Amino acid sequence: MDYTVRIGPYQLANKVICAPMAGVTDHTFRELCRRFGAALAVSEMLSSNPQVWQSEKSQNRMGHRQESGIRSVQIAGSDPAQMAAAAQYNVEIGADIIDINMGCPAKKVNKKLAGSALLQYPELVEQIIQAVVKAVTVPVTLKIRTGWDTDHRNGVQIARIAQDNGIQALAVHGRTKACMYKGEAEYDTIKAIKQAVSLPVIANGDITTPEKAQYVLDYTGADAIMIGRAAQGRPWIFREVAHYLATGKKLAAPAIAEVQQIMLEHVQGLHQLYGVHLGPRIARKHVGWYLAEHDAQGVFRSEFNAIEQAERQFEALNDYFHKLAAT
């Protein structure tokens, strides 16, 4: 059995990909996920609007050449010419793959007719894909949802448009735009898409365990799976899933000492990436995810969220793990 997948000239090491998540999959997080087995980690989405490219937030997201592994950069927008220009710009600064976002259900994205709102307009979808593919020489991939609501699951139509216009891999989240992240992901549409096209299809949505990853691959026939929210506070899920897919055997959960080491490294990376003022604030949500199982009542998280100083965050985390190890 082949445990890998190819996107253009790139042979991925396995079938497990880290999904792009706004405010989560920054450089620090992507590096961790790759280290723990993600064959590809897609960047946070970047606006195609050049007026925001010089903002601090955009600049933090655009350090592509500092990235290890294959650099897949996701862009979002609704104007074909702007999307083409954004693709060119990101390739110039180091992107190996351009990923088009037509999957984000966030209102602030959709009100600009970007993200999953585009699924309502297949002609515009085609124009954007054509413009981006023509603008760059690197592979162009696409992320979509199954449709814009449960009465309009047009994922197969969009997939055929993508294939006919040069998209080299298609990731599909098993919910519609209207579903947001509510309810459960459905995989029938992903299965239908895989049967309708020959390009690599990547299944996404509610893949939280190695067993679920295997089930989704088997049920849909997809070429790979993409993990998003299940990796928050759990970057080692990629090694667990990759190992299970290759061997059929489960890895032991990381020891608490390893969780401590991973989290401290993550927090330190966030401090370095965002600075001593913003870094500690961004670290709070990640620490909450890491400790969700151990701090179920949120007592430590409440205390941690009041800490403003980077150095004090490390002290508090080390104290917490020392007490945890003693129990």
Query: Binding residue per annotation — 306?
Result: no
CA distances in angstroms from 323 to 286, 295, 319, listed in the order given:
20, 12, 6
Query: Binding residue per annotation — 94?
Result: no
Q: Which helix (H) or strand (E) holds 145?
A: strand 140-145
Instruction: Map residue 4 onto helix, strand or coil.
Output: coil
Alpha helices in 165-255 (DSSP H): 188-196, 210-220, 237-247
Query: Binding residue per annotation — 205?
Result: yes
Cα–Cα dist 10/39, whole Å: 10
Q: Which of 18, 33, 104, 179 is catalytic?
A: 104
Distance from CA of residue 296 to its chain's centroid?
Answer: 26
Query: Binding residue per annotation — 59?
Result: no
Query: Binding residue per annotation — 301?
Result: no
Q: Is the dihedral of CA 112, 115, 119, 122 positive or negative?
A: positive
CA dihedral 193, 199, 205, 210 (to 10 degrees): 120
33 is catalytic: no
Query: Binding residue per annotation — 30?
Result: no
Contacts 24+ apart (CB under 8 A), 48-53: 48/75, 48/76, 48/77, 48/79, 48/82, 48/83, 48/85, 48/86, 49/77, 49/82, 50/82, 50/85, 50/86, 50/89, 53/89
Query: Binding residue per annotation — 23?
Result: no
Which tokens sit at 171? 């990731």
Query: Binding residue per annotation — 45?
Result: no
Query: Binding residue per annotation — 191?
Result: no
Cα–Cα dist 314/267, whole Å: 8
Query: Binding residue per annotation — 294?
Result: no
Distance from CA of residue 124 to its chain's centroid?
Answer: 24
Query: Binding residue per annotation — 149?
Result: no
Catalytic residue numbers? 104
For the annotated binding site for FMN, the residues are 20-22, 74, 143, 173, 204-206, 228-229
For the annotated binding site, the residues are 20-22, 74, 143, 173, 204-206, 228-229
